């Protein structure tokens, strides 16, 4: 795999500082039942990294101690973590709002037949990937048969009242561009998605989030091997808008990896750019078991060229467009 970090670090990005923590994003591990082209994690069925019981307990203790209101569970496929159901039960007991970044197809895998009901029971918000509403495009990006399986999963979620206007179970969808281009306007695309999915499959959902592909790991390596890395970086930089700086997710979120180390976001996690503190012995990597929220406030965020994916055009975050 080609490493994009040296090239990204040659590109300067405006200085930004961390604000209050609204959401803790927990990466439970890099295993996934899929192996998508645009994956910034390089996730796949053969990855073995997963959060240990000890780190899960450290993470729950951090959430309780700091009164964290919302967590965003990601991976890989976070649901493949063996203690996933236990974790969402514990989070529910702490009265935390839970977001599950779901690839949809996991809901149809053997052994996960009850997963959708469990998510509904714990009132977990689902943010589900559906990078296009055209079968051919989805299967090209995510693998053969993924579109059909995703539709089946969406119907299952709708039956559980996910995404229904009168219900309170939230189902948001995520659109990723097919390659080295920016996403279309989120609002317009949401209207198209809603119309197509309703007419063709009678599927409903709450909101569409457009997310720009970030040139790290599998996606970054693919761009480099196709000689598309430099033109894509140029496109991102040329489309930068200062208006998006205030709403960058890293200012209000924190990312914890499967080993308990902390990062400004999942992309910095994949690039190996952790949060650190200076000590008498040198520099130390911050771990969820030994960090105070107060030491993070107003601190510089670790930035490089990939950050332009978050500020290009309408901006991009795990919650979709910024402006």
Question: Contacts with ligand SF4 in 142-181 (CB under 6 A)?
Answer: none
In the complex with ligand SF4, the residue whose CB is nearer, 32 or 222, is 32
Dihedral, CA of residue 133, residue 134, residue 139 and residue 141, to nearest 10 = -70
**Which lies closer to ligand SF4 via its Cβ, residue 132 or residue 301?**
301
35 is an interface residue for ligand SF4 by CB under 6 A: yes
In whole angstroms, the minimum distance from the beta carbon of 195 to ligand SF4 comes to: 25
Q: Binding of ligand SF4 at residue 220 (CB under 6 A)? A: no
Selected range binding ligand SF4 among 21-29, 69-77, 108-116, 291-299, rule: CB under 6 A? 69-77
* Residue with smaller CB distance to ligand SF4, 60 or 142: 142
**Eight-class DSSP state of 29:** B
Nearest distance from C-beta of residue 312 to ligand SF4, angstroms: 11
Long-range contacts (CB closer than 8 Å, 24 or more residues apart) made by 92-96: 92/122, 92/123, 94/60, 94/63, 94/64, 96/63, 96/68, 96/69, 96/70, 96/71
To the nearest whole angstrom, how small is the minimum distance from the Cβ of residue 157 to ligand SF4?
16
- Rounded Cα gap, residues 184 and 141, in angstroms: 18
Percent composition of the chain: helix, strand, coil (DSSP 3-state, to 5):
40, 20, 45
Using the rule CB under 6 A, is 222 a contact of ligand SF4?
no
**Residue 96, number of CB atoms within 10 A of its CB:** 18
From 36-44, 83-91, 167-175, 197-205, span contacting ligand SF4 (CB under 6 A): 36-44
Which CA distances in Å does 33 have to 78, 81, 102, 106? 10, 12, 11, 7
237: helix, strand or coil: helix
Overall size of the chain counted in residues? 323
Sole binder of ligand SF4 in the list 124, 307, 312, 321 (CB under 6 A): 307
189 and 175 Cβ atoms separated by less than 8 Å: yes
The reply on whether position 36 binds ligand SF4 by CB under 6 A is yes
Contact in structure between 204 and 166 (CB atoms under 8 Å): no
Task: Choose the stretch contacting ligand SF4; rule: CB under 6 A; options: 28-36, 154-162, 191-199, 276-284.
Answer: 28-36
Of 88-96, 202-210, 227-235, 306-314, which segment contacts ligand SF4 by CB under 6 A?
306-314
248 binds ligand SF4 (CB under 6 A): yes
Q: Which helix (H) or strand (E) holds 309?
A: helix 308-311
> Does 99 sit near ligand SF4 (CB under 6 A)?
no
User: Which positions ≥6 away from 187 have C-beta within 8 Å?
Assistant: none
* 76 touches ligand SF4 (CB under 6 A): yes
Among 75, 163, 215, 313, binds ligand SF4 (CB under 6 A): 75
Residue 301 found at the interface with ligand SF4 (CB under 6 A): yes
Is residue 94 within 8 A of residue 67, CB to CB? The reply is: no
User: Residues 127, 306, 312, 314: which binds ligand SF4 (CB under 6 A)?
Assistant: 306
Which residues contact ligand SF4 (rule: CB under 6 A)?
Answer: 32, 34-36, 39, 41, 43, 75-77, 103, 129, 248-250, 264-265, 267-268, 301, 303, 306-307, 310
């Amino acid at each position: 795999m080609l490493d994009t970090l040296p090239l990204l670090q040659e590109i300067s990005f405006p200085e930004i500082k961390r604000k209050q923590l609204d959401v803790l994003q927990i990466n439970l591990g890099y295993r996934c039942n899929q192996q998508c082209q645009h994956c910034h994690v390089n996730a796949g069925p053969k990855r073995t990294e997963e959060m240990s019981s000890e780190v899960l307990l450290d993470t729950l203790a951090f959430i309780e101690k700091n009164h964290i209101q919302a967590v965003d569970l990601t991976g890989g496929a976070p649901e493949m973590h063996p203690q996933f159901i236990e974790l969402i039960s514990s989070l529910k007991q702490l009265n935390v709002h839970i977001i599950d970044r779901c690839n949809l197809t996991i809901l149809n895998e053997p052994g996960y037949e009850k997963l959708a009901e469990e998510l509904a029971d714990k009132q977990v918000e689902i943010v589900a990937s559906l990078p296009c509403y055209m079968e051919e495009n989805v299967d090209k990006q995510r693998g053969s048969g993924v579109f059909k399986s995703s539709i089946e999963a969406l119907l299952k979620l709708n039956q559980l009242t996910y995404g229904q206007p009168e219900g309170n179970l939230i189902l948001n969808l995520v659109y990723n561009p097919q390659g080295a281009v920016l996403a279309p306007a989120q609002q317009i695309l949401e209207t198209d998605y809603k119309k197509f999915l309703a007419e063709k499959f009678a599927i409903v959902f709450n909101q569409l989030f457009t997310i720009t592909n970030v040139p790290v790991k599998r996606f970054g390596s693919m761009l480099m091997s196709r000689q598309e890395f430099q033109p894509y970086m140029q496109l991102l930089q040329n489309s930068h808008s200062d208006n998006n700086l205030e709403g960058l997710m890293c200012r209000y979120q924190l990312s914890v990896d499967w080993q308990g180390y902390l990062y400004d976001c999942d992309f910095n996690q994949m690039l190996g750019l952790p949060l650190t503190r200076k000590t008498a012995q040198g520099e130390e990597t911050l771990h969820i078991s030994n960090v105070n929220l107060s030491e993070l406030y107003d601190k510089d965020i670790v930035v490089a060229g990939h950050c332009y994916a978050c500020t290009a055009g309408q901006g991009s975050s795990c919650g979709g467009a910024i402006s």
